[in-house]
Structure 1
């Protein structure tokens, strides 16, 4: 039952997430193409300079949590059941999305976003495995 619900929900969820990444949450088009390629350090700088904990939660934790559902993609695409296949397919896909943010100037290409999003997928993959063992999905 859980797999059927997931298969129905993941496509609209993906569209919602893409909307948020390009148009939602007060997005605007930057005058310049922006890129941040300092892994981890840019997130640390962001946290140090954040105006509130709410900003940190929305940006940093959001970049992880919002991608947890993609750890379940093996339910839709059986070839993505193992972690290696899932990650090796996810990283190019999220890199393309980040590149589109860069080229459209509707966001910043950030290496940390790729890392945080991939960590979210990993957590989702772990959670999927846990559910499968517990609930016999």
Structure 2
């Protein structure tokens, strides 16, 4: 039952997430193409310069938590039950999305986003394994 709900929900969830990444939270098109390629330091600088913990949790935590469902993609394709394959596929997809943000100027290509989003997918993969073991989920 859980797998069936996931299979139905992941597509609209992905569309919603893409909406947030390109148009949500009052986004407007930048005048220039922007990218941040210095891993980790841009997030540390964001945290240091942030006005509130709420902003930090929403931005940094959101970049992890919102991508946890993608760790469950093995429920849709058996190939994605392998962590290496899942992460390779996920990283490829998220780099394309970040590039689209860059080229459309509807966001910033940020290496930290790729890292945080991938960490979220990894946590989702671990959670999927835990759920499968605890609930004895089979197809």
Partner of 2:48 in structure 1?
48
CA separation in 2, counterparts of 1:115 and 1:108? 14
Alpha-carbon distance, 1:18 to partner = 0.1
CA separation in 2, counterparts of 1:21 and 1:57? 17
CA separation in 1, counterparts of 2:81 and 2:42? 32
Partner of 2:19 in structure 1?
19
Partner of 2:127 in structure 1?
127
**TM-score if structure 2 supplies the norm length?**
0.98
For each residue in 1:7-33, what CA deviation from the matched residue of structure 2 results, as whole angstroms up to 9, or x when unmatched?
000000000000000001111100000
Partner of 1:93 in structure 2?
93
Alpha-carbon distance, 1:82 to partner = 1.2
**TM-score if structure 1 supplies the norm length?**
0.99
Displacement over 6 Å in runs of 4+: none
Query: RMSD value over aligned CA atoms?
Result: 0.4
For each residue in 1:82-120, what CA deviation from the matched residue of structure 2 results, as whole angstroms up to 9, or x when unmatched?
110100111010000000000000000000000000000
Partner secondary structure for residue 35 of structure 2: strand
Structure 1 spans left out of the alignment, 5+ residues: none
Alpha-carbon distance, 1:69 to partner = 0.1
Partner secondary structure for residue 109 of structure 1: strand
Structure 2 spans left out of the alignment, 5+ residues: none
Alpha-carbon distance, 1:73 to partner = 0.2
Q: How many residues align?
A: 137
